[in-house]
Amino acid sequence: MGIGNPGPEYAKTRHNVGFRVLDALAKRLNVSKQEARFRGVYAAAQIGDLKVGLLKPLTYVNLSGQAVSEAVKKLNLQPEQILVVLDDAQLPLGKLRMRPKGSSGGHKGLQSIIDALQTEEIPRLRVGIGSPPEGVDMVTFVLSPFEDDEELVIGEAVERAADAAIVWATEGINAAMQKFNK
């Protein structure tokens, strides 16, 4: 599950890194069909023999929990069976951090998911987007696009995050944390 905002005006913003990772996964997994489902855009995919689902909520970041809780209920999943991919302004640009559980760290989209599922025991993969420059508020920063020199770094981070998600799905969270939390 990737956190982001729907619409072309948000596509290249910092807040949409989660969507970009899901797009990279969909491309790698040769996803050919996406459908409107669970208050979002959903695609079923295969990683070897493993069936996975890719969900991009269309509820906007702060209401991501609505889509995720609907998918969890209808697909009969446990919270530890989902991976939330999100941006993190407290991590340096391009750094990845995977954790099996924890607080939202102030991310309203993750907090919405925690509230909806009533647990902090939700695996998450944070992708560093850097911190706002002095004088720029957080909302303005996360809704802004990456600068040209940052785009190369974030592009590489998106690909590594897609790798991390595949390792999480196939080898487990401990293997993914060992390989990608550097």
Q: How far apart are CA 44 and CA 31, in angstroms?
A: 7
Task: Give catalytic residue positions.
Answer: 15
Between CA 124 and CA 88 the distance in angstroms is: 11
Contact 94, 128 (CB under 8 A): yes
pLDDT(41) > 90: yes
Residue 182 has pLDDT above 90, yes or no: no
Query: What is the per-residue pLDDT across 130-143, written as a single tens digit (0 to 9) for each?
Result: 999 999 999 999 99
Dump pLDDT digits (tens) for 49-98. Answer: 999 999 999 998 999 999 999 999 999 999 999 999 999 999 999 999 99
- Work out how many domains the chain is built from and give that number: 1
Domain boundaries, position 109 = 8-180
Is 1 inside a domain boundary? Answer: no
- From CA 98, how far away is CA 85, in angstroms rounded? 9
CATH for 173: 3.40.50.1470
